[in-house]
Every structure is written in C-alpha cells, then in structure tokens.
Structure 1
Amino acid sequence: MAAAPFIGAAGSVLSASPAQAATIDAGQFTLTSRSSNSYGEFADLSAGLATKLPKVDAATVIADVNRSATHLTSAPSTAEAFETGFAWDSDDQAVDYWIPQGVTTSADAYGNGNYPEGGNNRVVLASWYFETDPDGDGVDEYAIDKGLRLTFVNYNNASAPKYRHVLLVEPVKTATGEFSFNPIRKHAGGIMWYGNLLYVVDTYKGLRVFDLNTLFKVPLTEKDVCGLHTDGSYYGYGYQYVLPQSAAYDNAGTYLRYTAIGLDRASTPDSLVVSEYSLSGAVSYTDGTFNGTGVGTTTPKVVRWNLDYTDRQLGSLTATEAVTVSQQKIQGVVSRNSKHYLSASDGTSTKGTLRSFTSGASTAGAVCDLVIGCEDLSYHSSGASGWAFSESVIWNLGEYVNKRYVYAVHADGS
C-alpha cells in the first residue's frame, strides 16, 4: 500500500457517492533542490565508486534480464478495460518480504515510448519495498531491511517478457573515508521515469532522483551485505546491479505526503503530479518525520510541478497547481492537463477502482475496476509512435501475494 506499510484494511472506501474536489493555493507547496548528502556531493560519491566498480547504464541491464514473466491474455483478477500485461514469476508472486508499489514505462521516459533515446527498447519499471514484518504482528520475521529494489522489465516481446531486479542505494563513505553505499529504507510508493532520470517518492521528505546512466555491477554473493564489505569487495544483497541516488528535492513548504507520482506529457511544459494517501479521509502528518512548514489542509491533494525538458529536472521549485479530492486510499496518480486519474484501493479482498476528476470540478467518478491491491499509475499515450496501442492506456500493478499483476487498462474505461 502506498502509505506507511501495514495499515489494516478498513471498510469500503469506494462508495457510490463521488469524491469532492476543490482548487487550493499552489504557491504554498515548494521544494528545495539538493545535490549532496552528509557524505558529500552525490556526483563525487558516484565518481568515487566508479573507480572501484564497473559502471553500466540502464540499457545494459535491460539486455541482461534473468527472470521470465507470464504474459496475460485476458484481464487479471477484477480489472476491466484490459489491454496488455504480465504477472511476475512464481518466486516473486509468493515472496512476502518484497512488496511491489510503483510503476512507470519507457513511454514516460521518451515521448515515442522507446529507450534509450534513439533506441528501440520497450521497458516497464516497477519498484518494491522490503518489509521485515510481513504479517504485521509487530514481530520482525526478517532481521535485515534490504530497502528498495527496482525491476527492469524488457517488454520488447510482450508475449514473453523478461526482467531483472536491481537494488536502489544511496552513495556514502565509510567511517574510514572509503566510498560505499547504503540501502534506502523507504516505501517507494510511486516512481516516474523522465529521460535518463528516475523519480522516486520519499513519503515524508519529497523526491529522490536516480540517474539511469549510472549503475554499478557487483558480485552476486553475500546476500546479506550491502556496500563495502570487510573482504574489500562491494555487494548489493545478492543483486547483480545497484543504482545509486544522484539528486533530491526536499519538501520546503506546507506539509505534503509524497505518496505517488505521475508524469503529464499533455501539459505545457511537461509536468509531474504528486498525490497523497489517507486511510479515513484526513491525511496524517503525525506518523513520520515530515519536512515542511506545518500542516495545511489535510484533505488529500494532487499537486503539480513543471519540468524542464532540456535537463529532465524540475523547471520550478514552486508548484503550479494544487487541488484537493476527498478520496480515501489513493495509491496512484497521473494527469492529462486538467484531468486527473487516481487509483483507489479497498483492502486485501475487494477490487480497486480507477477514478478521474477535472480541476475545478466538484466530483471524481469511477472509470473502471482495477485489481485487488491496486497501486501506482502511469499514462501511456496512443501517440507514442515507437510503442503505441490503438488507444491510450494507463498502467497499474497489484501488491498482494499471488495477485501481483502489472497491466494496462484503456484510459477511457472502454
């Protein structure tokens, strides 16, 4: 789920009555750009790692996939308006400590849908977080929180997708000044791919950014070690590749819960939107250490920032649009100009719903049903010339064990 993990399922939140929406002051939502952590500049830390480890790019990983997904020939679970999709392999369907959350595709990365720029790969990315207490009983079943992983799905052959997991890390230095990296123990409820950059929401803090041109290859052994080990080698919890953080945008204005993120290529300029999760109608800012200047409205919000196409970074640190929407359990968001799509979940046994509303309108209505445990959203325009469907679709994924589908539905619900 896209808020703090393991909040218990409540009663149905997808009532027949539509959700209320309103426009609010966007200027209260601001970010600060950060190029470093307490160990130094991200660029310098990654350059130091490059002197110790083989450096690769995302195209290398996409060509080095090692797991097979199952192609879906019909709508999974309770989903409607189905276009395409897949299910993870049996191990990833059953694992209880890695939980899928975010989804984005190469149709976000570049307008024609292919990656890299000028290339011809069709790719889906998904994020997962590690849960040490999967059954939520307050007792950890697993001793090590391995943080976040990102999955590169090579979708060039949609009938037989293949994929590989990589570990997301933060570059650091050891106590003795050696270059290293640490796991990122966050939730990764939503992700957005834009050019060579991957944006990952940090619930309490803002946005983390990763440069997909800079990954490092590490040995597969030492599955419980991350970073520089006592033997002088580097490891990534048994993963072949690690992807280090390259930048950050920290919340600096009114408190905002960074639950999900989506790219809007229909706006001018391109923009990103962030949505908030609430369990029972009011957004909580008391369950973590939030960056910001204090509580504003606690009704869930969708907030927009402009992007700069030339460098793929934010074009402005001040939001350009903010709307509230009285919808519980928002897990994903994506927008097309003034039209906003939301995925809303409803516990472990009830279908999710894709909903939409227009800025300035008073209500949000249902578009179509989604799978049980629906999470993040990503819009895929029919205008993506290199990877197009007959009509625009929205990607979604499910988080629950043995219900982990990654799939696209028709954006108009047909």
Structure 2
Amino acid sequence: MTILNRSWWRRIAGLAAGVPLAAAGAVPAAVFAVPERAAAAAPPGLREFELRRGPGRAAPIRALDGRLHRSGADALLGSSGGKRLRGGCGKAAGVPAQSLVHCFDRADSTTGEWVPQGVTTVSDARAAERLAGGSRPLLVSWHGGGRVKVTFVDPDRGTYRHVLLVHPTMKGKKPSFTDIDIHAGGIAWYGDKLYVADTRNGLREFDTRLIFDLGQSKAGSTRSSGRVGLHGGKYHGHGYRYVMPQTGSWRFARGGWTGGKCRGSGALRMSWVAVDRTTWRHVLIAGEWCRPKGRSGRVVTWPVQALNGTRPVRADWAAPLPYDRIQGAVRTNGQWWFTQGLGRKRGRLFMARRDWWGWAGVTHRTISYGPEDLSCYRGRHRIWTVAEYAHKRALWSFPADSCR
C-alpha cells in the first residue's frame, strides 16, 4: 500500500465539495478546464431502459451445490494461500498525488492475458461497510480470452484471491459450468448480489454467498488450467480454486445493444456500473462508453433494491453524458465523477453536478493511465478505480469529501 503526495487532492476534494477556490487554495490554470456548462442535450426516454429478469439457473446450481464445497466471501477472504499485495506500482501507472495505491503481484501486474475493468467495494454492499467476519474487501473484475474473473482484495491483510465467474448448465444429466465471455467493464456489489455489466444484454447476477471451493471439494480439481466444468468426473476452473456461478440476469425488455456506434437511443450499451447509497432510495448507475465525434453516451439509474424481485424494473432517471470515452462514473451526494480513457495517454477525471439545464461546474484533472470503473468508499471518503494496462496497472483511490 502506498500513499502519494497530498497537496493536489486537498484542492480537488474541496472543489468537489463546493468549497470556493480561495478556500481550497489556488489551482493552476493548466490543471483544470472549467467550462461554464457542458452542452445540454435532450434527456433520453426512460422506457428504453426497462430491465426484465432473465432465465434462472436454479436447477444446475442446486445440483452443483450437492457436489461441491460451498464457500462465500467471508470464508474465501479468511482462507490461507492468497496472493500478496505489494507496493511500487503507482509511479508507472501515472497515479496522481495523495492516492492510496494497492499493487497486484508481478504476474498479475504484467500479464496481457487478463485486463482489469470493474471496481466495487464492501461500502457499496453494506451500510456498515464490513462483512459479518469483519473483512472490508475491494472487488475487481477482469476479462481475458473469453473468460471473466473477480478478485477479492483484503487491504487489511494485504492479500487477494481470484474467483472465476462461470455459467451453470447441465452436461447431459449432470451439472456443469462454462466460461462467461463478456467484457465485464463494470461491477456493482449490493447486499449479497454482485452485478456484472454485460455490454450487449444488461446485467449478469451473482451471489457472493455462493462460491464453490474446488480445492476443498472431493469432486473438484485445481490442476488443469485448460479445463472448465465437468471433465472425467472432476470439476475444473482453469486451475483456479474458487468459482462463482451466475445465479440470474437482467436483460433489456426491448432488446439489447446490437453493436456499432452509440445511437443515443434504444437499449443502453452497458459499459460500466456503480452504486449510489447517498440518495434516499439507493440506485444502480450504468452508462455507455462512446467514441468521439458521435452521439453522446447516456447514463441511467434504477432503484437497486427492485433488482431483488422478479418484476420488470424501470429506470428512474437518465441523462446524456458530458463527455465521450467514459470508462466509469459514480455519484455521491449529488456530485458526479467520471473517468475518461485516452488510449496510451494518461486518462482524465471529470467532476460535475447535474441540474435542470445540464452538467454544471465541470472540472477535470489528468490521472492514471487507463482509468476504469469507479466506486465510493463512504467511510473513508475515497473513490476507488483501477488502471488497466499491463506494466502500468494499479488499484488506487483518491480523496473525495462528497463521498460519505
């Protein structure tokens, strides 16, 4: 864990909280671009974003539960043999001053086979910001070669564990599971449910109480990295000890995103997700990554507790995004934060508020290379993200007064 210089973040935290420039300290003109207001556009129609529950996976999950050792987030974090976090990656990743930085081990920091994308924390999941066993994990999603995994990071112990996400199915009359081939550009943890962005269709749903430990299962194997599911009477997860089966999904009622350029209408391109617990009704936030010189991307919210049921869930708010190439966003107490990817250049962090006329008080700052999804850790007043590029990779956070 590394904490970098504090001066700049003190200024920016004050600005985000609405502190006047004189109180926050002088900010060099080169640091910020502050347009009076981002260009306003007509708000999207909410009917386009209605979600309906997809087919359940109860039968194969019940059968797997009878054959494999069930674990969960608490047990996984408390088990031995996890990988160790290290330090020293912040500079290469271009992480800004006063950032709290966690680094993966050398293999995970340099691999091009897996790319980190989504970030969520126990602060999204629990009001008390800790699990029953006392742990306070951060979660990171990765995509790679038609597979997806989620990393459970325990910052208190300085360790982390990878968990392979799988799709439960039947292989003849026997339960099995297959890989999940999605981008997993954002994740949101609320209660026990983990929601993973499915770019074309909506959301994949997982239960953090339902994780199978292949290493502790008589029918499980951690030996073969080339196999997944049931083979020769043994269950494999590409060599990983833990697998987490998909328990459900939420799909756009009017059909999913069909690819190509952003159109500004129709189903959302589900690029990233987040949770806002600072509103009277907690919401799931999702938005689009769109190329420059095209239609504006959109950001949408749904009442997240409605996703516990089976009825269709309607969006309760939507707006055009203020900028293109948005890789992640989160809202806390009315303050919005956006990451913008700029290819191999360092990315940007935008801050803004939304009013009746559009995006107001927009400021921006250069941050790490490849900044991705965002998550507010309320009790620490910090917002977490991950820098995605190999050799420039870091899990890091910055202070934000409005994140509380």
Correspondence 1:189-338 to 2 at 5 A: 189-218=185-214, 219-229=221-231, 231-253=232-254, 254-282=266-294, 298-308=295-305, 312=308, 317-336=313-332, 338=334
Report the alpha carbon displacement of residue 189 of structure 1 after superposing the two structures with TM.
0.1
Q: Is the 8 A contact 1:398 1:406 kept in 2?
A: yes
What corresponds to 1:410 in structure 2? Answer: 399
In structure 2, the CA distance between the partners of 1:242 and 1:203, relative to structure 1 (3 Å rule), is same
Q: Give the whole-Å Cα distance in 2 for the aligned partners of 1:153 and 1:299.
A: 34
Gaps of 5+ in 1: 1-13, 132-144, 283-297
Partner AA of 2:142 in structure 1? W
Report the equivalent of 2:75: 60
| Greater mean deviation of Cα atoms: 350-359 or 188-197 | 350-359
Q: 1:266, 1:312 → 2: CA distance?
A: 19
User: Secondary structure of the residue that 2:63 maps to in structure 1?
Assistant: helix
Residue range with higher mean Cα deviation, 348-357 or 251-260? 348-357
Is the CA contact (8 Å cut-off) linking 2:213 and 2:242 kept in structure 1? Answer: yes
With the length of structure 1 as denominator, give the TM-score of the two structures.
0.79
How many Å separate the matches in 2 of 1:58 and 1:83? 27
Q: 1:123 aligns with which of 119, 137, 150?
A: 137
Aligned counterparts of 1:256 and 1:74: Cα–Cα separation in 2:
33
Relative to structure 1, is the Cα distance of residues 346 and 355 closer, same or farther in structure 2, using a 3 angstrom cutoff? farther
Distance 1:315 1:268 in 2: 21
Match of 1:109 in 2: 125
Q: 1:328 to 1:199 in 2, by over 3 A?
A: same
Asked if 1:20 corresponds to 2:34, the answer is no
Separation (CA, whole Å) in 2 of partners of 1:342 and 1:85:
19
- Give the whole-Å Cα distance in 1 for the aligned partners of 2:88 and 2:399: 15
Residue 394 of structure 1 corresponds to: 383
How far apart, in 2, do the equivalents of 1:75 and 1:244 lie?
A: 37
How far apart are the structure 1 equivalents of 2:90 and 2:393? Answer: 15
CA drift at 1:83: 4.1
Cα distance change on mapping 1:361 and 1:97 into 2, 3 Å = farther
Would the aligned equivalents of 2:284 and 2:304 in 1 still touch at CA under 8 Å? Answer: yes
> What is the Cα deviation at residue 211 of structure 1?
0.4
> C-alpha distance in 1, partners of 2:150/2:284?
20
Partners in 1 of 2:310 and 2:374 — Cα distance? 20
Report the CA distance between 1:178 and its aligned residue: 1.3
Which letter does structure 1 place at the counterpart of 2:155? Y
Could you say which structure has the higher helix fraction? 2
Contact 2:333 2:402 (8 Å CA) reproduced: no
Give the whole-Å Cα distance in 1 for the aligned partners of 2:195 and 2:324. Answer: 24
Shift in Å at residue 312 of structure 1?
4.9
Q: Which amino acid is 1:114 matched to?
A: R
Matched, 1:30 2:30: no
- Tell me the CA shift for residue 338 of structure 1: 4.0
For residues 312 and 30 of structure 1, what CA distance do their matches in structure 2 show?
A: 15
**Equivalent position SS for 1:248:** strand
The alignment covers a number of residue pairs equal to 351
State the secondary structure of the residue aligned to 1:363: strand
Deviations 1:316-363 (A, max 9, x none): 611000000241110001113543221111111333324333143433
Work out the CA distance in 2 between the residues paired with 1:313 and 1:338. Answer: 27
- For residue 8 of structure 1, what is the aligned residue in structure 2? none
Correspondence 1:61-80 to 2 at 5 A: 61-64=76-79, 66-71=82-87, 77-80=93-96
C-alpha distance in structure 2 between counterparts of 1:73 and 1:183, whole Å: 30
Cα 1:367–1:303 change in 2 (3 A) is: same
User: In structure 2, the residue corresponding to 1:250 is in which secondary structure?
Assistant: strand
SS at match of 2:356: coil
For 1:353 and 1:409, the matched residues in 2 are separated by 11
What one-letter code is carried by the residue in structure 1 that aligns with 2:134? N
Distance (Å, rounded) in 2 between the aligned partners of 1:317 and 1:281: 32
Counterpart of 1:268 in 2: which secondary structure?
A: coil
More off after superposition, 71-80 vs 313-322: 71-80
Structure 1 SS opposite 2:76: helix
Query: Structure 2: 5+ residue runs without aligned partners?
Result: 1-31, 215-220, 255-265
| Corresponding position of 2:374 | 377
Residue of structure 2 equivalent to 1:90: 106
For 1:314 and 1:347, locate their aligned partners in 2 and report how far apart those are by CA, in whole Å. 40
Residue 51 in 1 paired to residue 66 in 2?
yes
1:149 and 1:213 mapped to 2: Cα distance? 16
Q: Give the match for residue 135 of structure 1.
A: none
Give the counterpart letter for 1:407 in structure 2.
Answer: W
- What TM-score do you get using the length of structure 2 for normalisation? 0.81
State the alpha-carbon separation in 2 of the partners of residues 349 and 394 from structure 1. 21
Using the alignment, how far apart are the partners of 2:398 and 2:299 within structure 1? 22
Identity %: 29
- Pair 402,73 (structure 1): closer, same or farther in 2 beyond 3 Å: closer
Q: Distance in 2 between matches of 1:109 and 1:95?
A: 29
Given that residues 20 and 325 in structure 1 are in contact (C-alpha distance below 8 angstroms), is that contact kept between their aligned partners in structure 2?
no
